């Protein structure tokens, strides 16, 4: 089996690379700049990939040039803003990276997908409108809510091609993007995500799921 993972040089992406390699996947690890930790894995690293740029993604596709079983859209950014210090350029950037870029990735690599392939969108409970409980992180929350809608639409579109889409919250993971309050190690999150990937099918395609397995309200 062959998989593409974006944002693969650290955090959840790196841990998921390791987990999938362990499970026998041939992993194409896409990132802007490789890390020492990523170099240690038996993954094919493709550097200088800008997920917001179609031309950059096309170059990566040419390098891969093989049918894919799995795409994991993991690359993302996070800025903790309030209404008082809101930066509209920051909001635009969040939408470009967190919401639109995953669609660019899927659109670019769609010719390499086949019946039975899976697409994973790493989202967040922060994108749940039902669960919104604070007036903070405007940029991040809005971008993840948008990702959820785009991913749901994508699941409907790809179903006729027999390609399933999983929208997954990885848990509150200890990464460079999170605060000291995070409790889950990247490896633990990756193990849970790998299980969700295995369980993903056309029947549950388009569902918003927590890494622990339960569905999350929109």
Q: How far apart are CA 14 and CA 187, in angstroms?
A: 9
Q: Is 209:166 a contact under the CB 8 Å cutoff? A: yes
Q: How far apart are CA 44 and CA 53, in angstroms?
A: 21
Order across the sheet with 68-73: list the strands. Answer: 44-46, 26-30, 2-6, 68-73, 113-122, 164-169, 208-210
Dihedral angle computed from the Cα positions of residues 125, 90, 77 and 44, in that order, rounded to the nearest 10 degrees:
140
* Beta carbons within 10 angstroms of residue 88's beta carbon: 9
Tens digit of pLDDT at every position of the chain (218 positions): 999 999 999 999 999 999 999 999 999 999 999 999 999 998 999 999 999 999 999 999 999 999 999 999 999 999 888 889 889 999 999 999 999 999 999 999 999 999 999 999 999 999 999 988 876 889 999 999 999 999 999 999 999 999 999 999 999 998 766 556 778 999 999 999 999 999 999 999 999 999 999 999 99
SS3 135: coil
Which CATH number fits the domain 2-210, given the four candidates 3.30.365.10, 3.40.50.2300, 3.30.450.20, 3.40.50.720? 3.40.50.720
Tokens of 143: 């971008």
Sequence-ordered list of residues with C-beta below 8 angstroms from that of 92, at least 6 positions apart, any chain:
none
Q: How far apart are CA 92 and CA 115, in angstroms?
A: 34
Q: How far apart are CA 199 and CA 204, in angstroms?
A: 9
146 exposure class (CB count in 10 Å sphere: 0-12, 13-18, 19+): middle
């Amino acid at each position: 089996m062959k998989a593409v993972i974006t944002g693969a040089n650290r955090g959840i992406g790196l841990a998921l690379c390791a987990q999938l390699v362990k499970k026998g996947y041939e992993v194409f690890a896409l990132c802007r700049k490789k890390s020492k930790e990523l170099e240690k894995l038996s993954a094919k690293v493709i550097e200088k990939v800008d997920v917001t740029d179609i031309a950059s993604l096309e170059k990566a596709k040419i390098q891969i040039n093989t049918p894919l079983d799995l795409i994991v859209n993991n690359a993302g950014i996070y800025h903790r803003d309030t209404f008082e210090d809101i930066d509209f350029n920051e909001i635009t950037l969040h939408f470009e990276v967190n919401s639109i870029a995953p669609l660019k990735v899927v659109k670019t690599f769609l010719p390499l997908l086949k019946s039975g392939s899976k697409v994973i969108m790493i989202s967040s409970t922060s994108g749940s409108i039902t669960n919104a409980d604070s007036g903070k992180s405007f940029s991040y929350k809005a971008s993840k809510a948008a990702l959820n809608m785009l991913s749901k639409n994508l699941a409907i579109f790809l179903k006729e091609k027999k390609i399933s889409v999983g929208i997954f919250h990885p848990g509150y993971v200890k990464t460079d993007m999170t605060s000291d309050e995070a409790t889950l190690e990247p490896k633990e999150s990756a193990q849970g995500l790998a299980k969700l990937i295995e369980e993903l099918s056309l029947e549950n395609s388009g569902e918003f799921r927590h890494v622990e397995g339960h569905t999350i309200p929109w």
